[in-house]
Amino acid sequence: MPHPLLPPPMGYPPYQYFYPAPPPPPGHPQHQPHPHPQHPHPHQQHPQHPQQFAGPSHQHMHPHPHQHPHMQYGPPPPGGPYGYYPVIDPRLDPQAQQQHAPPPPGGEQGHPGVTYILHTASPYTFNITNGEEDLLKPAINGTLNVLRAAKKAGVKKVVITSSFAAISDLKGKGPWGDREYTEKDWNPYTYEEAAAPGVPPAIVYSAGKKLAEKAAWAFSEEHKLPIIALNPPMIYGPALQEAATSPETLNTSSAAIYALFSGRVHAIPDDRLPLFCDVRDVAKAHVLALETEAADGERVPLCGGSFTWKDAVEELYATRPELKDRLVPLNSGNPAPGPAARISTRVAREKLGLKEFIGWKTSLSDTVDSILELEKKWAVPS
């Protein structure tokens, strides 16, 4: 059954789904090259196909001249490629948000012409009635459904957006304390523990990310399907504009930053996950994972550093005087639980080639700019 999702959380950016698209009728304009083959108009799409990319990044991949290069939705049309190649270009397909990789109608079926798959979505809502049915099973089964279809179609590689939630020791201090997490660390929660009644949704969600990734590695080993798992923590950066039609539909992590100056809270919020990675770095990591074989079979933690909400508020007071009357009071809220833990990015640097990460001040500033632009559409009084 389709699983309802909240608006796409920035923590798990670009959303890609693969749909079995019907063959276009004779004379369909797919056979006519787009006048700008590498950069299609952001709102143009073929009537027989969903929009072909949804993701909050503005980075670009290099198109291949003879095939759909890295991402493709559904089978290619009988006459060949469309003549242009949508790359990392922000799109929103509302239908894609309503499903989490259900089994294809009529059983498993491949997607001829698909070379690579990015499996980036997992149910991310804490408005649940049954953690096992609403979070655990969709996360695990959705991942396995994608991998089964990929294997049947002869896909060369699957990149899975896992999470720091699959790494963090949530039975210990989690993201706090003087320690460094690496690709060898795993969230200690088991299926049975996470599925028990009364377990907080955040724990169930985190366990689901760990268990889905574990299932993916087992499938990869058994079926010899190359995969890469990317493990980012909280993700900030410019929001997907089409997704946020009101303050209530702003994605989860952008909403956390918006709370600092929206007037909806009156004190600095409690710190829960100070570790972050900018959405543009996460998108770049997905592209690099497709372009290199050096990271095949690797878990790749991603991190641009850490900051607390007090750090963020201090920075906004210093750099955004126009927001001073809207910001939460500087001397408010509770102190952070302690120093933030660290995440090793060795694999990202050495195997993936992601040498540098956007810092938190840039990510914060660009997120605020994005939200202020959205406010103009929402007609929110400034």
Dist. CA 380–CA 262, nearest whole Å = 9
Structure tokens at 202: 């955040």
Please list the active-site residues.
209
The single-letter code of the amino acid at 244 is: A
Structure tokens at 182: 């690496």
